[in-house]
Structure formats: C-alpha cells, structure tokens
Structure 1
Amino acid sequence: MGMAAAEIEAMIVAAIPGAAVEITDLAGDGDHYAAKVVAAAFVGMPRVRQHQMVYNALGGRMGGVLHALQLTTAAPAQE
C-alpha cells in the first residue's frame, strides 16, 4: 500500500511548523523512505526526542502503512 512522499512531508510540516523536510523514496515502492527534517523546534532537544516528534507527526503509520523511514533530524545552524 505505502504512502506518497508528499503526504509524509505534509504530515511532518503540519506537526512541526516551519520545518524544512526532504523526503527520498529509497526503493521506489512507497514503503521505504529517507527523511531529513531541520526545525527550530529541535533547538536544545536530544536527537531521540527529535525523532519521537517526527514519528508522532506520522500518527502511528510507522510499521504499518509506512514500513521504513531512515530519519535524520537537526536544528538549524546558528550563525
């Protein structure tokens, strides 16, 4: 079944406003993606909590509709 990359991106941005999201379909099957999420909301937050925020944004679809997500998160670079 799978999910569209645009749907994943929209769900993340809706839950983490202002996030810059890049989604890459790793296998062409709609089930295996890589996501890079950069958000000001992540400032001062441990990486585990950043990942939890992204998984929560997907509303329980991980492991079901969405089989695999290679996740990279970061706060914006400070100048």
Structure 2
Amino acid sequence: MKVLAKGIEMVSWTNLLGVITPVRFKIANEDESILVIKIDKVITIDKEKLAGNNRLVYTCQSVIRGCERIYSLKYSFDTCKWILWKL
C-alpha cells in the first residue's frame, strides 16, 4: 500500500452509541475527475493518538476499477475530517 494522505468527502453512519461507520467516499483524481468508492467491508477499526490528535484508523475493502483493494482511512476527532491514508 502506498501512503496518499489525501482529504476525501465521506458519507458515514453513526449509531446511538457513537460508533462511526463509513459508507462511501469521493476522491478527486489527477485529471480532476471524481471517483465514488463504496466501502464493501470494514476489516478493522483502531484508535491512534499522534501529536495529541485522537484518530480512528479504518482498514477497509472495496472494488475499485474492477480490482478488489484494501486501504486505510483516518478520521480525526479534532478536525472532523476524513483522510484516505493508504491505497
């Protein structure tokens, strides 16, 4: 997996206990086209604290352009932003 650290637009669910589940996200390609990726499976959810910033790290699986891929998403509690970390 290659580190991208690219900001994304995310659609997610939050249940009554506050558990956040990502559903799908948009990412801009180099040619400025938009790719929508549906998250087929969340494999793991880990907590991370880096430089005082609390984050959730999601390892997910999706079919991207016909190939099944595993990638990492990060959600920052401090900024409420999603990042496509590794692809």
TM normalised by structure 2 equals: 0.31
Q: Which has the higher contact order (CA 8 A, sep 6+)?
A: 1
Bigger strand share: 2
Using the size of structure 1 for normalisation, the TM-score is 0.32
The structure with the greater share of residues assigned to helix is 1
Larger radius of gyration: 2
